[in-house]
C-alpha cells in the first residue's frame, strides 16, 4: 500500500509541476504576443486618446451656479409659525415651471435649471437650486433671475400675512382706546351720581369692573401679536447663499475622460492583438 501511495503521490506532484509549466508557458506566450503586437496596442491607445481629445476640444464647457433659499415664515397667534410656502411645494413648483429633468417635450437647451431639492437634513426651511449654462456669468445670471422671481412671489405672501397681523393689532388698539374712553365716562357719571342714585351707580361700577377685566386680555393679545410679528417668528424669504460664479466647468472633465480613454485604448489594443494573433495562427494552420 505504501508503494501505491508513493506512486500516486509522485504522479500527482508531476501533474502539478506540468500544470505550472503550462501556465508559465502560456503567460510567456501572452507576453510575447503583446510584445509582438505592441505597435497595434500603442496605435489603439493613441487613436482612442486622439478621438477623446478631439471630442473634449470641440465640446462646449458647461458651468453650474448654485444658490440656497431660506423659506420665510409668518407668525400666528397661538399657533406654530407657518411658512410662506412649503419647501416641498416650492421644489415641485419650480420643477414643473422649468421642466427639471423632463424631456417629454424635447431636450432642454441651456441655460436651464438642472436640479431643485430641499435641505431637510441640514436646513429644514432651505431649498437648493442649481442652474447650468455654457458660460459662468450666464449660469449665475439665469439663477439670479430665478431666485429673485421666487423672492418677489414670497414677499407678496409675506406682506399679506404682515398686513393681517397689523390689522389685528390695530383692531385691538382701537378696542383698548374705546374701553379707556368708556371707563373715563363711567367714572365721571359715577362721581356725579354719588348720594342720588345709588342703584345706577352700582350698575355703572359693575360695568366698569367688566371693562377692567377685558383690558388685560387685550394687552395679552397685543403682546402675542407683537411676538408673532417679531423676527423670531416672522421673516421673509431670503438668499442664504448668493448664486455662485463657477470658476471651472462641471463638464467635460478632461482628466477623467483621458484616464478612461487610456484604459479603454489599452484594453482594445490588447484584445485586438490577441485576436490578430489567433487569426494569424488559424490561417497558417489552414494553409499548412
* Whole-number Å distance between alpha carbons of 222 and 164: 13
Asked whether the beta carbons of 184 and 134 are under 8 A apart, the reply is no
Q: Which SS3 state, helix, strand or coil, does residue 195 take? A: coil
CB neighbour list of residue 136: distance below 8 Å, 6 or more residues apart? 63, 65, 245, 246, 247
Other Cβ atoms within 10 Å of 150 Cβ, number = 22
Q: Is 288 domain-assigned? A: no
More confident position, 95 or 192: 95
Asked which of 32-36, 155-159, 200-204, 214-218 is least confident by mean pLDDT, the reply is 200-204
Q: Pick the closest to residue 240 from 66, 65, 63, 64 (CA basis).
A: 66
Instruction: Count structural domains, the chain.
Output: 1
Geometric angle at alpha carbon 162, from 161 and 164, rounded to 5°: 65
In this prediction, residue 70 carries a pLDDT of 94
* pTM listed for this prediction: 0.68
Q: Is residue 198 part of a domain?
A: yes
Q: What is the pLDDT of residues 216-259, one digit of tens each?
A: 999 999 998 888 888 888 899 999 999 999 998 988 887 887 88
Backbone phi, then psi, for 113, in 5-degree steps? -85, 120
pLDDT band at 98 (very low <50, low <70, confident <90, very high): very high
pLDDT at 269 over 80: yes
> HSE on the CB side for 153, CA within 13 Å?
12
Q: Is residue 26 part of a domain?
A: no
Residue 10 has pLDDT above 70, yes or no: no
Coil vs helix vs strand at 239 = strand
> What's the average model confidence in pLDDT over 268-276?
84
150 found inside a domain: yes
- Of 250, 261, 274, whose CA–CA distance to 52 is shortest? 261
Q: How far apart are CA 158 and CA 236, in angstroms?
A: 6
pLDDT tier at 7, thresholds 50, 70, 90: very low
Question: Would you say residue 166 lies in a domain?
Answer: yes
% pLDDT > 70, the chain: 86
Q: Is residue 286 part of a domain?
A: no
Q: What CATH number should be reported for the domain holding residue 168?
A: 3.30.1890
Q: Is 86 helix (H, G, I), strand (E, B) or coil?
A: coil
**Arithmetic mean of pLDDT, 153-158:** 94
Contact (CB, 8 A) for 271 and 44: no
**Mean pLDDT value across the chain:** 83
Residue 275: inside a domain, yes or no?
no
DSSP letter, residue 196: T
For residue 279 the three cell numbers come to 487569426
Residue 120 is assigned to a structural domain of this protein: yes
- Structural domain of 138: 63-241
Record the cell numbers describing residue 70, joined without a space. Answer: 431660506
Q: Is the dihedral of CA 257, 259, 264, 265 positive or negative?
A: positive
Nearest to 48 by CA among 202, 264, 244, 233: 264
Pairing mode, if any, of strands 73-76 and 79-83?
Answer: antiparallel
Q: Which helix (H) or strand (E) holds 67?
A: strand 63-70
- 63 forms bridges with which residues in the sheet? 133
d(CA 185, CA 204): 10
Question: Phi and psi for 63 in degrees, rounded to 5?
Answer: -110, 150
Closest of 181, 81, 191 to residue 125, by C-alpha: 81
DSSP-derived secondary structure letter, 131: E
Amino acid at each position: 500500500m505504501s508503494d501505491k501511495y508513493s506512486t500516486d503521490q509522485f504522479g500527482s506532484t508531476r501533474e502539478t509541476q506540468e500544470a505550472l509549466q503550462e501556465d508559465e508557458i502560456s503567460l510567456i506566450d501572452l507576453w510575447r504576443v503583446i510584445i509582438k503586437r505592441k505597435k497595434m496596442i500603442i496605435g489603439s491607445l493613441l487613436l482612442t486618446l486622439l478621438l477623446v481629445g478631439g471630442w473634449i476640444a470641440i465640446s462646449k464647457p458647461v458651468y453650474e451656479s448654485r444658490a440656497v433659499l431660506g423659506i420665510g415664515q409668518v407668525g400666528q397667534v397661538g399657533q406654530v409659525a407657518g411658512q410662506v410656502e412649503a419647501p416641498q411645494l416650492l421644489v415641485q413648483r419650480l420643477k414643473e415651471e422649468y421642466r427639471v429633468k423632463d424631456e417629454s417635450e424635447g431636450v432642454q437647451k441651456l441655460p436651464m435649471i438642472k436640479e431643485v431639492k430641499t435641505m431637510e437634513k441640514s436646513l429644514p426651511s432651505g431649498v437648493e437650486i442649481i442652474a447650468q449654462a455654457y458660460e459662468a456669468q450666464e449660469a449665475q445670471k439665469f439663477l439670479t433671475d430665478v431666485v429673485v422671481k421666487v423672492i418677489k412671489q414670497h414677499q407678496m405672501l409675506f406682506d399679506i400675512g404682515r398686513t393681517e397681523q397689523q390689522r389685528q393689532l390695530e383692531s385691538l388698539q382701537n378696542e383698548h382706546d374705546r374701553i379707556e374712553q368708556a371707563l373715563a365716562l363711567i367714572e365721571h357719571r359715577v362721581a356725579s351720581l354719588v348720594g342720588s342714585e345709588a342703584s345706577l351707580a352700582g350698575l355703572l361700577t359693575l360695568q366698569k369692573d367688566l371693562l377692567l377685566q377685558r383690558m388685560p386680555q387685550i394687552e395679552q393679545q397685543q403682546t402675542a401679536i407683537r411676538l408673532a410679528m417679531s423676527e423670531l417668528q416672522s421673516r421673509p424669504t431670503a438668499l442664504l447663499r448668493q448664486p455662485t460664479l463657477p470658476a471651472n466647468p462641471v463638464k467635460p472633465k478632461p482628466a477623467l475622460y483621458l484616464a478612461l480613454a487610456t484604459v479603454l485604448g489599452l484594453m482594445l489594443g490588447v484584445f485586438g492583438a490577441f485576436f490578430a494573433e489567433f487569426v494569424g495562427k488559424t490561417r497558417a494552420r489552414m494553409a499548412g
